Structure 1
Amino acid sequence: MLYPQIKTNYNDFIKTEDGHKIYYEESGNANGYPVIYCHGGPGGGSSPFVRRLFDPEYYRIIQFDQRGCGLSEPFMSLHNNTTAHLINDIELLRKQLSISKMLLAGGSWGTTLALLYGQQYPQHVAAFLLRGIFLARQQDLFWLYSSHGAARLFSDYYRDFNPHPCDDPEQLINTYYRRLTSDNELDKLSAARNWCQWESRISVLHADHTKIEEDLNPHHALAMALLESHYFSHSSFIKENQIIANIDKIKDIPATIIHGRYDSVCDFSQADLLNQSWPASALICVGSAGHSLKEKAISEAFCKASNSMAVFLKGQKSKL
């Protein structure tokens, strides 16, 4: 189902006015329909795997690394690193690449960012393609970090993450955040590994120890743990339930939502609520998958949806 691996056409950096350099890359058809993909985390990064999800003959495939992670500079910087800044970076990228309308795609935290950008700049989004919905509400953090959510399914893994029962995920997140911003390099690395191991272990139906070790690579783990704890300790720098409260701003923009039935990182109810609140959306429930994009059933569903979206976008263009 996936397209063959392809190289980038080019890559570059965009300099922001506040001292960040945002890495971006383009692949596929340079004259094709633009799709901007927002990676997860916060703290993830662009990936060659994402290029395989879009028809390279039709799409102009654009990825970027959010502030503080991937190849963006300064690495692991928290300075001016908020959701509002990330939204502004997408808009800066859109202008830099002379894009008037785009397909806006993303996974996990990338869906949060894509939805928030779309609600601020709906005129520039033709459609959404979203996988693994994360609404970034307090109850979603409670599900992921308390002992009463995903921990009920993975109690042994949760003990490695947090040995003590937790009714207050805010306190747990803040504890990790203090460790990850301390001057103790060994404890910082230990905290990063524990943080990322928890999420990696529960992101798939069947744990892949090779992938878990990749996720625990210090370069990746330190950025992911630091930026996630930074954002989540600040309620993702958005108002509670902001996405659903502002859904009317994008209510007429078509969207395909893909979510694993057994997603333990972002429980299925988030995708279901978004779909029920959004008249122009369609929800694809992948019955044999969890959260990870690299699960075969998820990546194939995403690729199939991107092909269907290409047909839709071609039809829209022909009406103009």
Structure 2
Amino acid sequence: MYPIPEVRQSGLLQVSDLHQIYWEESGNPAGIPVIFVHGGPGAGTAPVCRAFFNPERYRIVLMDQRGCGQSQPYAETRENTTWDLVADLEKLREFLGIDRWLVFGGSWGSTLSLAYAQSHPERVLGLILRGIFLCRQSEIDWLSEEGGVSQIYPAQWQRYIAPVAPEKRRQLVLAYHELLFGDDYETAVKAAKAWNEWESYLIRFEPQEEDSDGEASLAIARLENHYFVNLGWLAGEKAILANMNTIRHIPAVIVQGRYDLCTPMQSAWELSQAWPEAELRIVQGGHASTEEPLASALTAAADEFAHRLAVL
């Protein structure tokens, strides 16, 4: 990865009467525009997100999606759907005066990147995707219900289900929805902490014990649960795999960790089968984009696109 460049400009963009989204730019103002689409939903961006891109070659744009990071209001789920976020990306592109950009997204960010590209293919120079997640019920069940990745971390799973009454554990996502969005704020914070700590085991190849702050966990817990309950508004005719014909012409690299427990290989494989023009690169790693070998593979893909797009 590259040294983290300094932010050149940043601000809040009003995208609705309720929401303002945080954005920032770094790198070369005359470089190839690239938008970093973060995961979660609700995770927000961090300075390290700039480090996948050569700052001499790229105009690097980061955006915190609605309700998370430095966007306002914090942890807000009203007016917060996949299609609101797709519209926000377009508003930001127009605000910054960018005609077309490279779209770089991982985990939930791969979902949103694909939804955006399918909605606005004429605005996408290429796609770099990592840790493919298509927001389907099977993927949500793997993460959040008994019988999936719970079998890998049984002790940690017990801590995840502890806030839920035993009679409600057959539908944990819905049970968590009640806890996270109920009237009792302390209960919501406790549930958010348990949700976030469970997820922390799935994103690192070698997990460490994490004692997360409950209030700081509210955005990712509430937003993830909100999107999971609604299947990301991507079911039926809106499902990503059903609309691959709209983007098959766009150059793409898919980087997938073989041992990714958060977004397992199956979804990346199915995407590559529906999109044979995309290049699937399987590395011997997990989920986190900043861990090796994913970090090197993603940086290499960005370098390759810098060369490819420079000669267009």
State the TM bucket, normalised to the shorter chain: over 0.9
Give how far 1:205 is off. Answer: 1.8
Q: Is residue 2:231 matched to residue 1:272?
A: no
Query: CA–CA distance in 1 between the matches of 2:49 and 2:254?
Result: 17
Q: What SS is found at the alignment partner of 1:26?
A: strand
Give how far 1:24 is off. Answer: 0.2
Contact preservation (8 Å) 1:126, 1:254: yes
Matching residue within 247, 250, 260 for 1:263: 260
TM-score by length of 1: 0.92
> In the TM superposition, what are the counterparts of 1:228-307 in structure 2 within 5 Å?
228-240=224-236, 242-287=239-284, 289-307=285-303
Q: Match of 1:194? A: 194
Q: Deviations over 1:96-130 (max 9, x none)?
A: 01111110011110110000000010000010011
Q: CA 1:234/1:169 → structure 2, altered by over 3 Å: closer, same or farther?
A: farther
Contact preservation (8 Å) 2:205, 2:288: no
Q: What SS is found at the alignment partner of 2:174?
A: helix
Deviates more, 1:55-64 or 1:179-188: 179-188
Give how far 1:219 is off. Answer: 4.6
Task: In structure 1, give the amino acid aligned to 2:259.
Answer: Y
Unaligned 5+ runs, structure 2? none
Query: CA–CA distance in 1 between the matches of 2:93 and 2:22?
Result: 13
> In the TM superposition, what are the counterparts of 1:135-174 in structure 2 within 5 Å?
135-162=134-161, 171-174=171-174
Task: In structure 2, give the amino acid aligned to 1:305.
Answer: A
> In the TM superposition, what are the counterparts of 1:42-53 in structure 2 within 5 Å?
42-53=41-52
Query: CA–CA distance in 2 between the matches of 1:17 and 1:161?
Result: 35
Q: Match of 1:94? A: 93
Query: CA–CA distance in 2 between the matches of 1:98 and 1:279?
Result: 32
Give how far 1:280 is off. Answer: 2.1
Give how far 1:17 is off. Answer: 3.3
Q: What SS is found at the alignment partner of 1:220?
A: coil
Unaligned 5+ runs, structure 1? none
Query: CA–CA distance in 1 between the matches of 2:45 and 2:32?
Result: 19
Task: In structure 2, give the amino acid aligned to 1:113.
Answer: L
Q: Deviations over 1:16-37 (max 9, x none)?
A: 2332111100000011100001
Q: What SS is found at the alignment partner of 2:227?
A: helix
Query: CA–CA distance in 2 between the matches of 1:99 and 1:170?
Result: 47
Q: Deviations over 1:151-179 (max 9, x none)?
A: 12222221211259x9x988211111111
Task: In structure 1, give the amino acid aligned to 2:270.
Answer: L
Give how far 1:57 is off. Answer: 0.2
Query: CA–CA distance in 2 between the matches of 1:217 and 1:28?
Result: 32
Deviates more, 1:87-96 or 1:232-241: 232-241
TM-score by length of 2: 0.94
Contact preservation (8 Å) 2:33, 2:59: yes
Task: In structure 2, give the amino acid aligned to 1:242.
Answer: A
Deviates more, 1:221-230 or 1:170-179: 170-179
Query: CA–CA distance in 1 between the matches of 2:143 and 2:96?
Result: 37
Task: In structure 1, give the amino acid aligned to 2:245.
Answer: D
Query: CA–CA distance in 1 between the matches of 2:58 and 2:139?
Result: 33
Q: What SS is found at the alignment partner of 1:246?
A: helix
Q: CA 1:86/1:169 → structure 2, altered by over 3 Å: closer, same or farther?
A: farther
Give how far 1:217 is off. Answer: 3.1
Contact preservation (8 Å) 1:145, 1:169: no
